[in-house]
Structures are given as structure tokens and as C-alpha cells.
Amino acid sequence: AQKITQTQPGMFVQEKEAVTLDCTYDTSDPSYGLFWYKQPSSGEMIFLIYQGSYDQQNATEGRYSLNFQKARKSANLVISASQLGDSAMYFCAMREGSGGYQKVTFGIGTKLQVIP
């Protein structure tokens, strides 16, 4: 089974609207974490947000929030008030293991395009 599944190859959103990017995961490790990274066309990987499996509250960072539903094994990224600069590839990733031996697995990404 895929460890990280992103089922939306591409998404469009109107500027100033909110958008949800889907991510489901599969792990038997009780301690894990979920990340979202942004990759603009320039190619760099930009960290957006992190959610630990034991965190009680959903993570938020500015306009980004992570809708963590543990029982459904989903970790969707919500971007509020979309901006043209949000157009990019978005990758969901999962950390398993602990300490230094933790490994991170990435999904195949969702391409988001913000329309003026």
C-alpha cells in the first residue's frame, strides 16, 4: 500500500478563495508526523506545516492549516485566502520512526494553480 496518497494531480482555485488539498496516509507506527511542503516553479522545497500524531489540536501556520483526522488517516492542507504566489506543487509527507532513524516518505504532489 502507498504510504502517502495524494489523489488530486491538479487543482484550480480563484484568488482569495480557500482550497483544500487532500492527503491520506498509511502507517502502523503509533508515533508519526505529517508535513506539507510547497515547491514553486523555481524548484526549492519550502516547509509549510507539521502535525504530530499525538498533537491534540490541528496545526495552523498563518493561512495554512492542517485538517488532521486520525481515524480516517487523512491530513488535508487548507489554504485560506489564496494568493497568486500560492501557485506551486504541494507535497504531503509522513515521518515514521523516532530519533535519528526517522524516515520521511513523500506523496506525488498536487499542482495548485491560483486564478486571478
Partner 1 sequence: NAGVTQTPKFRILKIGQSMTLQCTQDMNHNYMYWYRQDPGMGLKLIYYSVGAGITDKGEVPNGYNVSRSTTEDFPLRLELAAPSQTSVYFCASRGSGNEQFFGPGTRLTVL
Q: Which three cell numbers stand for residue 67?
A: 485538517
To partner 1, the closest distance from the beta carbon of 106 in angstroms equals 3
Distance CA 73, CA 69 (A): 6
Q: Which is nearer to partner 1, 31 or 80 (CB)?
A: 31
To partner 1, the closest distance from the beta carbon of 2 in angstroms equals 11
Cβ neighbours around 98 below 10 Å, total: 10
Which positions touch partner 1 (CB under 8 A)? 4, 33, 35, 43-45, 47, 50, 52, 91, 93, 95, 99-101, 103-109
To partner 1, the closest distance from the beta carbon of 14 in angstroms equals 25
Helix and strand element counts for the chain (H, E): 0, 12
